[in-house]
Amino acid sequence: MQGQRIDVVSVKPYPVFLGARLEELGDYLTTRIGAGEHLLVITHPNVGDYYLDTLQKGLGSFMVNTLIVPQGEDEKSLDRLSDLTSEAIACGADRKTVVLALGGGVIGDLAGFFASVFMRGMRYVQIPTTLLAMVDSSIGGKVAVNHAAGKNLLGDFYPPLAVWTDFSTLETLPWEEMLNGLAETIKHAVIADEELLSFIEKHQEEIMARKPELYKELSSRSSAVKVRLVSEDETEQGKRMFLNYGHSFGHALEAEVAYQGITHGQGVSIGMVAAAHLAQERGLMSSGEVERLIKLLKGFGLPVTVRAKNPRVLTDLMGADKKNYKGQKVLVLPKGIGQGIVIRDANDEEILRAWDKVIE
Ligand code: NAD
Ligand code: GLY
């Protein structure tokens, strides 16, 4: 295989293959689990139309069934989990079946959680096809479904057998979805890798022109940040929390409009800027560093401000964040460019001032 392999340190270590080819996954699985095993591909209709044939070219020596899940965040649900269970039973799945999660973060989280609970657990492979899934959700073993009371409320840390990333799948990804991944990539750079930030700045035009070579490099560097953080802290007791940078503010923006009308990437973009302003007020960032971040985000067409919002309502919504502890808001701030810090003593007044900086 051409490309790169990075190993994740975990209770169950696993490799992340970057620049792999869909049609070569079968060869890898033959060496890993042996030929003839039962595989259950879980994917969306559109992703399946684009990539199932290519994937299946390499799976001739396996027994393969495919389960199609409609698109959308709503499908990360207990109802869909129940449907998958019935369909898997009808296909003869058992504990030795291996799930192949072919899609973005929705498929990865749903199929991964399904793998974690079906017959008390079966193996699964993450095959990410969005930039967000490649650099973020496929790595780290977090799997989940949503509940009426909150997103990702029912889940687990359940490491995959492997992550198999074929960058060529990005060719069909709509630009809006690419932006969601770019926001997470910029987040990785700000909290953990200044060189990555410089790389993105230097190649912004080529990234926007969707040059495939650039995406290989960008995605590989961003994935490496995620691998490093989850390898150091798989269960999110410390450094993995840095990955929440921009998300406490961003989730409040998304929740306020019930996840309609703002994308995750847009929420994270504004959230990173709000947190950067708070960091500047605390002397953790210079005004030049905050401006550097704003310029980069704007250059991609990501929003850095939001119109007509009530900062008090948004601050209250931040109180529901899963990362909070004993009623205290827990926030991640950048420390300059390239480092993060978790703060547990943020007061509502400084959070309100940060909102004021991003509300027009
Ligand atoms: P997504 O999975 O909904 O995919 C976005 C859209 O792109 C979908 O309509 C999908 O069908 C389509 N698509 C996927 N691949 C494509 C391709 N190659 N070509 C064309 N279309 C394609 O969205 P996402 O942004 O990938 O993932 C978001 C989800 O990830 C959320 O549910 C979030 O909670 C979760 N997430 C999980 C983690 C984690 O650590 N487990 C981290 C971040 C996000
Ligand atoms: N996306 C946050 C995490 O994986 O921890």
Same domain, 40 and 96: yes
Same domain, 135 and 228: no
Residue 213 is which amino acid?
E
Distance between CA atoms of residues 234 and 142, nearest Å: 9
CATH number of the domain where residue 66 is located: 3.40.50.1970
Same domain, 201 and 64: no
Q: Tell whether 183 is covered by a domain.
A: no
DSSP 336: S
DSSP 338: S
Q: What is the pLDDT of residue 1?
A: 56
Same domain, 139 and 234: no
DSSP 326: T
**22: three-class secondary structure by DSSP:** helix
Same domain, 74 and 200: no
Q: Tell whether 187 is covered by a domain.
A: no
Q: Tell whether 34 is covered by a domain.
A: yes
Q: What is the pLDDT of residue 170?
A: 97
**For the CA of 142, the nearest atom of ligand 2:** 4
The model carries a pTM of 0.97
Same domain, 243 and 296: yes
Same domain, 111 and 210: no
CATH number of the domain where residue 317 is located: 1.20.1090.10
Out of 233, 243, 247, mutate this one to test ligand 2's pocket (max ligand atoms within 8 Å of CB): namely: 243
Q: Tell whether 179 is covered by a domain.
A: no
Same domain, 249 and 352: yes
Q: Which tokens go with 196?
A: 């990555």
Q: Which of 142, 172, 202 is the last residue of a domain?
A: 172
Q: What is the pLDDT of residue 326?
A: 81
CB of 165 within 6 A of ligand 1: the answer is no
Q: Which tokens go with 128?
A: 């990410």
**234: three-class secondary structure by DSSP:** coil
How close is the Cα of 104 to the center of ligand 1, in Å?
Answer: 3
Q: How many domains does the chain have?
A: 2
Q: Tell whether 51 is covered by a domain.
A: yes
**For the CA of 229, the nearest atom of ligand 2:** 5
Same domain, 216 and 134: no
DSSP string over 112-147 = HHHHHHGGG--EEEEEE-SHHIIIIITSS-EEEEEE
Same domain, 12 and 91: yes
Q: Tell whether 110 is covered by a domain.
A: yes
Query: Which domain, by its residues, includes 206?
Result: 192-358
Same domain, 103 and 225: no
Q: Tell whether 18 is covered by a domain.
A: yes
Q: Which of 115, 143, 172 is the last residue of a domain?
A: 172
Q: Tell whether 286 is covered by a domain.
A: yes
Known binding residues for NAD(+) = 105-109, 129-130, 142, 151, 169-172
Q: Which tokens go with 61?
A: 């020596």
Same domain, 18 and 153: yes
Residue 69 is which amino acid?
V
CB of 140 within 6 A of ligand 1: the answer is yes
**Cβ neighbours around 86 below 10 Å, total:** 9
Distance between CA atoms of residues 77 and 84, nearest Å: 11
Angle between helix axes 287-299 and 175-192 (nearest 10 degrees) is 160
Q: Which of 172, 207, 237 is the last residue of a domain?
A: 172
Burial of 261 (0-12, 13-18, 19+ CB in 10 A): exposed
165 Rama class: left (phi>0) / alpha (psi -120 to 50) / beta: beta
Q: Which tokens go with 276?
A: 């950067």
| Per-residue pLDDT tens listing for the chain (360 residues) | 568 999 999 999 999 999 999 999 999 999 999 999 999 999 999 999 999 999 999 999 999 999 999 999 999 999 999 999 999 999 999 999 999 999 999 999 999 999 999 999 999 999 999 999 999 999 999 999 999 988 999 999 999 999 999 999 999 999 999 999 999 999 999 999 999 999 999 999 999 999 999 999 999 999 999 999 999 999 999 999 999 999 999 999 999 888 888 999 999 999 999 999 999 999 999 999 999 999 999 999 999 999 978 999 999 999 888 788 888 899 999 999 999 999 999 999 999 999 999 999
**174: three-class secondary structure by DSSP:** coil
**For the CA of 226, the nearest atom of ligand 2:** 4
